[in-house]
Structure 1
Amino acid sequence: MTVSSLTQTRDLSIQKNLIPHNWQDYADIPFVIPAMCFPWEIFKPIERDYYTLLYLHLKNERAHDHSDEIQPALFSIPEEEDKSASLLFHPSPAGRKPHPFMPFFRAFELASLQYIEVMVESVYLQVKSNPLFATMCGFTEKIPSYRSFARFDQIMTTNGLWEKARLLVVEYNKGEGVVETNEEAAAVDTSHIEAEATLNKTRKTCSCEGNCDCPRVLTDDNVGVMRKSNAVSYIAHKLSMVCGVKSGLPLTREVFKGNTPDGKTLEPTLETFKTEHPEMAEQLSFILADGIYQTPENQKVTKDVLQAKLVAPINPRNRKDKPTTARGIEKINRYGTPICISGHKMELRGSDREKGQYIYTCPVFHPNAKQEGLTCPLANHA
């Protein structure tokens, strides 16, 4: 991508006079090019919803703020005095203009490119301490307070606007051809997100002082212990994603407790995928996944939800190799692969759908499956 093409930003809300004259020197910083070239205008519907919700949020705060009722009582004005003085206690309801939406939004979206955790505290500190980051986000005047950042994230989170923004990005990528919508296969996998909560920690739901019998709730009801190995474990959330095979980009995601088995996450993840992307779900024939998903239950779920086949390696669990009487075959190993009488694993070449059988070939003599260095001491058995 050339420097001249980078200057043709599609977002006009970043004023050119705010960008350093030698901004090209910063093009290798991860957030600079996305800040200038990403089509941020696709989030205009989110911006409209945010301003409406911000108005309601502030109105609700004022309704519960009784400080304005105290001052008139302390400094009452006699009726015979100039009525214009009463304006001191009844200011215009217009108020000051809110902070612009887009700089906040960019800050939270671009913060992850700085390899920091996307939390209110870290995003605020990044904007406050990094002038280039603040400029690229669009903060043109005094940096808003921490409380403003916290309020922005609260409104976005509690009203599902982050989720709506995610769906807008996916739809944009589909429209631009970044994600192909006519793929025959999609991939499912899980990852983990370390939690900020303490496991099983509770908090009071009341304002009673001291000990009381009021009910308590978990500070985070969707967190669990996720064990990666005997020595490594996390207090975390488990993230299950459906990705396009060609693009590799996530299309759908579901969040579970960290201790939820991977195999149990498939059904709700596929249901969400079908709801969010019905046109893609209709064209899928295969779901690709790790061996941990290979169970009869998940095969049935994949067929029932998407009318597709789950393609996953056989998970051997407690299976053992099985001897067989098939000609030239010594056994079927615990992974379901035939082993010939010379001890070689046969190569899978395809399947016969009419007979419902897989087709395996010899890794020594088949012209399309030969493996370097393999020999067959029993070549005359055929």
Structure 2
Amino acid sequence: MLPISQIQINQKPLLIHTVHEDDKVLLNTPDAEWFRALYYFPWEKHRNFGAEYYDALYEFNKREERKRLKNQPQKQVVLSQSKEDARQELLFNRATMQVDKEKRGDVLYEVAAESKQRMVSPLSISPGVVPFRLGGKRPKCFFALLKSFLGTALMGFPCEPEKVSMLLKSNPSFVRVCGFAPKGERDEYCSRHIPSERKLQQFDQIMSEWGLWDKMKIALVTENIETGAIKIEKEVVGDTTHYYAYSGFETVKYKDEDGKEEQKKSQSKLTKRCRCQDRDKCEHDWVLADEGAGTIVKSITKMYWGHKASIVGFPRQGVPLDARAVLDGPTHDGETYFPHVEKVFDTYPVIEESVKRALYDSACDSRDLKDKFMDKLGLELKASLNPRRKNGITDGLPRGMEKITPYGVVICNGGHEMDYKGMRYEKEKFIYHAPTDTDGEPVCSTCLHQVECCPNSLTGRMINISFGLLPHIDTEDPPMAKRFKAIMTRRPSVERMIKRLKCDIGDDRLSKRGNLAFQAYLDKTMIAFHLLLQN
């Protein structure tokens, strides 16, 4: 007798295709890119993911059945660890509480996909055709469920089950292009009917836990690189952004290494993943209600409770290559860039040989980090200057000069910024020259301070600044140079990538908790972006 997984049922495809008038209108509407992307959705390329989903669905149903049949102990077991002890232990297990930064381990979140048996053949499924199993209801079509999530993101809504359900219940054209059919009040169950919100939540949970969103994202980016939709560049750019967490926090007091007790740190509240009536005495462990969330400090007056994401992409095209959740929200931005670029190179080795430079903001202005990029990845790291709270210099300046800013900009008494021209290495001097006006003449000729500054100069004032006055300036790569400024003009392109992922096809306020759900949210927005790029 053949096992259930090998029984094949021939399902005849639909031979009648109805075309609605409003579908024709949407196909010719410039503002309905979402409809064209779903109408011409290349489902053949996603057959492997569909087969993996049906296998994961089978494993998921068996797992839930085992939970229902599992005998729960009747007597309550007193928990050996108190809530306060669990709170302190979870606090010191966080990445940002590790004293030795080199031993922190992974800074970025990695999806631990569950293993499963391969039983469904990719060639046996298609839109409307699902694998056969003895017992149970016929499952919903994978391709219809997938299109409903991606279509929600393409329309600018967060690709979460509640938003997907809302659109399926209110937009008939969206229902048809996804592959569903409306359900009447007295209709019996049919796999083509609009799924319930609970079924959409189950689909999203399976795709997240088994790492299918991440696999689909990698496949789309790889395809866009191979087909030329993404041109390989010589530079990559990165930055981090925050999403508002769907949770609260509490302030935890702890002792530091010196035994001082007045140390405080914000942390997600504790909970238990069980339904026991008396959680204080049950045997289950305390866990963080929103793992990965933390206080993200932008400035002294700007602090946010949320999750942090790292973005890496190509600056000239403004195309993100990867979006990755940071394991602990308060992690410093300078610690996320290197492991993320390394992860991108491992995932897409075709771009590693072409990329020669990495761009970032002042969070990565570190000589040790620049050496690490060059030694391990062979990349030149360009970062905006971080003066590290240095004040402007007003003493020991050449005559006629008012101050030197912490960024190496010299300002004269006339309020003009001197142009940086280069340096004399043998004399250890930076060279500055007076700027010119719109007519090409030096501004010194009309300056009120010319008499005391440069009375005999015809070409404008030229000064030399000793290296010692600007010890924090890297003489091998001074940020005042025109070449450095020209390169760094491409760094803000990552802000446009963040805006597209965070605002155009998503939302900055999360509706789920935990790093797993946050990473899945980032993967779904990346999939929608690169699907739109293909169209």
TM-score range, shorter chain: 0.7 to 0.9
Distance change in 2, residues 1:231/1:96 (3 Å): same
Matched, 1:251 2:321: yes
2:32, 2:355 → 1: CA distance?
38
- The counterpart of 2:180, out of the listed 103, 124, 139, is 139
Distance change in 2, residues 1:39/1:330 (3 Å): farther
Distance change in 2, residues 1:177/1:303 (3 Å): same
Matched, 1:284 2:355: yes
Matched, 1:173 2:242: no
Supply the AA of the counterpart residue of 1:172: E
TM-score with structure 1 setting the length: 0.75
Task: Decide which moves more: 168-177 or 223-232.
Answer: 223-232
The answer to whether the 8 Å contact 2:27/2:36 transfers is no
Distance change in 2, residues 1:295/1:139 (3 Å): same
Distance change in 2, residues 1:327/1:111 (3 Å): same
1:287, 1:63 → 2: CA distance?
49
Partner of 2:238: 188
Matched, 1:45 2:48: yes
Matched, 1:304 2:356: no
Matched, 1:203 2:206: no
Matched position secondary structure for 2:220: helix
1:363, 1:279 → 2: CA distance?
47
Partner of 2:289: 219
Supply the AA of the counterpart residue of 1:150: Q
Distance change in 2, residues 1:21/1:251 (3 Å): closer
2:206, 2:38 → 1: CA distance?
23
Matched position secondary structure for 1:172: helix
2:407, 2:391 → 1: CA distance?
9
1:281, 1:100 → 2: CA distance?
38
The answer to whether the 8 Å contact 2:240/2:308 transfers is yes
Q: CA deviation at 1:104?
A: 1.1
The answer to whether the 8 Å contact 1:124/1:146 transfers is yes
Kindly report which structure 2 residues correspond to 1:266-281, keeping only aligned pairs within 5 A, or say none.
Answer: 266-281=337-352
Q: CA deviation at 1:133?
A: 1.9
CA RMSD of aligned residues (A): 3.7
Q: Deviations over 1:165-196 (max 9, x none)?
A: 11112112111212222x22111111112222
Partner of 1:69: none
2:55, 2:325 → 1: CA distance?
28
Q: Deviations over 1:79-138 (max 9, x none)?
A: xxxxxxxxxxxxx82544321111111121221233322222222222122222222222
Distance change in 2, residues 1:213/1:233 (3 Å): same
- The counterpart of 1:126, out of the listed 167, 185, 196, is 167
1:37, 1:204 → 2: CA distance?
45
Distance change in 2, residues 1:118/1:344 (3 Å): same
Q: CA deviation at 1:151?
A: 1.1
2:361, 2:374 → 1: CA distance?
17
Q: CA deviation at 1:375?
A: 0.4
Partner of 2:306: 236
Q: Deviations over 1:330-367 (max 9, x none)?
A: 87531134557976434457899x99x999674635xx
- The counterpart of 2:59, out of the listed 41, 47, 56, is 56
The answer to whether the 8 Å contact 1:99/1:144 transfers is yes
Aligned length: 341
Distance change in 2, residues 1:32/1:59 (3 Å): same
Partner of 1:29: 32
Supply the AA of the counterpart residue of 1:303: M
The answer to whether the 8 Å contact 2:312/2:340 transfers is yes
Q: CA deviation at 1:240?
A: 0.8
Identity value in percent: 29
The answer to whether the 8 Å contact 1:112/1:118 transfers is yes
Q: CA deviation at 1:37?
A: 4.2
Q: With a CA cutoff of 8 Å and minimum separation of 6, indicate the structure with the bigger relative contact order.
A: 2
Structure 1: segments with no counterpart, 5+ residues: 1-11, 67-91
Structure 2: segments with no counterpart, 5+ residues: 1-13, 70-132, 182-191, 250-267, 445-449, 463-535
Partner of 1:315: 386
The answer to whether the 8 Å contact 2:26/2:32 transfers is no
Partner of 2:495: none
1:130, 1:193 → 2: CA distance?
28
Matched position secondary structure for 1:22: helix
Distance change in 2, residues 1:374/1:105 (3 Å): farther
Task: Decide which moves more: 287-296 or 153-162.
Answer: 287-296
Distance change in 2, residues 1:359/1:136 (3 Å): farther
The answer to whether the 8 Å contact 1:331/1:340 transfers is yes
Partner of 1:74: none
Distance change in 2, residues 1:28/1:328 (3 Å): same
Partner of 1:105: 146
1:290, 1:232 → 2: CA distance?
18
Distance change in 2, residues 1:156/1:106 (3 Å): same
Task: Decide which moves more: 167-176 or 139-148.
Answer: 139-148
TM-score with structure 2 setting the length: 0.56
Matched position secondary structure for 1:253: strand
Distance change in 2, residues 1:184/1:22 (3 Å): closer
